[in-house]
Amino acid sequence: MTSSIYIAGKWRPALDGAVREIRSPADGTLVATVSDGKIEDALAAIGAARSAFDSRVFSSWSWNDRSSLLAKIADLLERDAEIIAHLESGDTGKRIIESTYDVADVAATFRHFAKLASAHHDRSVDSGLPHVTSKMTYEPIGVCSLIGPWNYPLLQISWKVAPALASGCSFVLKPSELTPSTAIHLIKLIEEAGAPEGVANLVTGSGAAFGDTLTSDPRVDLVSFTGGLPTGKRIMIKAADTVKRVALELGGKNPNIIFADAPLDEAIDFAVTAAFLHSGQVCSAGTRLIVERPIHDQIVNEIVRRAKQIRLGGPNDLTAETGPLISEGHLKKVEEYLAKGLEEGAKLLVGGSRCTSEELSQGWFFPPTVLDDCNTNMYCVQEESFGPILTVEVFDTIEEAIKIGNDTIYGLSGAVWSTNPITCERVSSELRHGTIWVNDYGPYKPQAEWGGFKASGNGRELGEHGLQEYLEIKHIWVNNSPTRSGWFADRN
């Protein structure tokens, strides 16, 4: 029987025995069969995490001991990198080379939080009184529900699991029901590394089945979620009754602004990558191209030429440069998104319909697509497609570029291209987005915080703040020479 649910140190099937098939979005082949958990499974996992945390079986570990655990997990990830990459590509359809890069980034994430944990100390506070010692201590927040997305399943789960372990929390992990395989393997590595029973728990299955349980249960102290805005709003509502901490990364509609004095060859190359990497299924994808009017034709014509050349294919196609969309349902959403853009007056320059060639017809492939003559009043400019669709807008002044770039409910990331440092400084400081790249697009480091403004979410992952999300801060004041306060008169 399929047993991909992990609770209190034991692998088991779903309580009702239900299973779910995972099929490759590249060709529909069966890649895994996993347990399809329900509310009862989630409740059991929460109970195990709560018991483990309350027993202090892990939270009592020293910072250095937890640092060593994370470093060992990083070693195991590197040992199993090839296995994990193939699991990731099987679930997502992305190229093996991309999944291999992702595994390296996951290991780097664990090493980053291992380093933070090894350097973490309580902080003394000057009380101003010779007989008083005052300090700030940092304690794990408790039980965490960690809910991951399908586009970078293991990477974005690692951004949650690593700091949870570093801080001494217990957790319940719920990967996307579409891409659970690497989460299952990660839990096996955490088990191998020596985490105590009940600290790490995993429930595979649909968020619709038990997501509300993970976010509303009073035994849960924190919910960290990466995914879509509607689900993020629902999580905030469900978490409100118990006033638990919520950390949300909800995507973006990211402006990529190119000025006429930019290094155009490089700007064009990065614009293609920003829009079409992983077929646009990237929360920070640069799918809003905003170009200065005199260079519009030059930029757009070259991007269209490059887009036509991009090769699509499955994980094992060594000539492929990008892969399929995650599912048939998502493909339909991308098609509907494109149709709305065309109804609003956008001009289709390339792409625009699903791939039907013999070698791609069994998967959910959609070609790189460019929509010109767009403006901020359009649905296709304001809403995420989470697909390979690039919209093009123009500007005439720096003020207009900034205004257009900020005209979105989201605020995750963006870029500015110019050889004028004054222009770059002004635009990067006035754009209301959590990450701004200057003459570049897409790089990140575990040492730098990641997160967004506005509807892109709240809280931060990675960096130092990514650890703070999983900690409570306590002030301990010790009076070493107590005397009576004398505030109220003693009339006895």
What Å distances lie between residue 143 and 51, 106, 170, 188, CA to CA?
Answer: 9, 22, 5, 20
Pairing, β 143-147 against β 222-226: parallel
Report d(CA 287, CA 305) in Å as an integer. 17
What Å distances lie between residue 152 and 55, 82, 307, 385, 482, CA to CA?
Answer: 33, 16, 23, 17, 56
Report d(CA 23, CA 95) in Å as an integer. 16
Element (H, E) at 10: strand 10-12
Q: Which residues contact 127 (CB under 8 A, 6 or more apart)?
A: 133, 134, 477
**DSSP per-residue string spanning 306-321:** HHHHPPB--TT-TT-S
Left (φ > 0), alpha (ψ -120 to 50) or beta: where does 278 sit?
A: left
Q: What angle do CA 372, 378, 381 make, to 5 degrees?
A: 65
Enter the DSSP assignment of 278. G
**Which residues are annotated as catalytic?**
249, 283
Which residue type is seen at 106? Answer: V
Q: Cα torsion at 281, 283, 287, 288 (round to 10°)?
A: 160
Enter the DSSP assignment of 322. B
Report d(CA 177, CA 175) in Å as an integer. 6
Handedness of CA 218, 219, 223, 229 (dihedral sign): negative
Report d(CA 1, CA 12) in Å as an integer. 9
Q: How far is CA 198 from the centre of its chain?
A: 25
Report d(CA 324, CA 192) in Å as an integer. 34
CB-side neighbour CA atoms (13 Å) of 326: 23
Left (φ > 0), alpha (ψ -120 to 50) or beta: where does 328 sit?
A: alpha
Which residue type is seen at 422? Answer: I
Pairing, β 222-226 against β 200-202: unpaired
Beta carbons of 441 and 270 less than 8 angstroms apart: yes
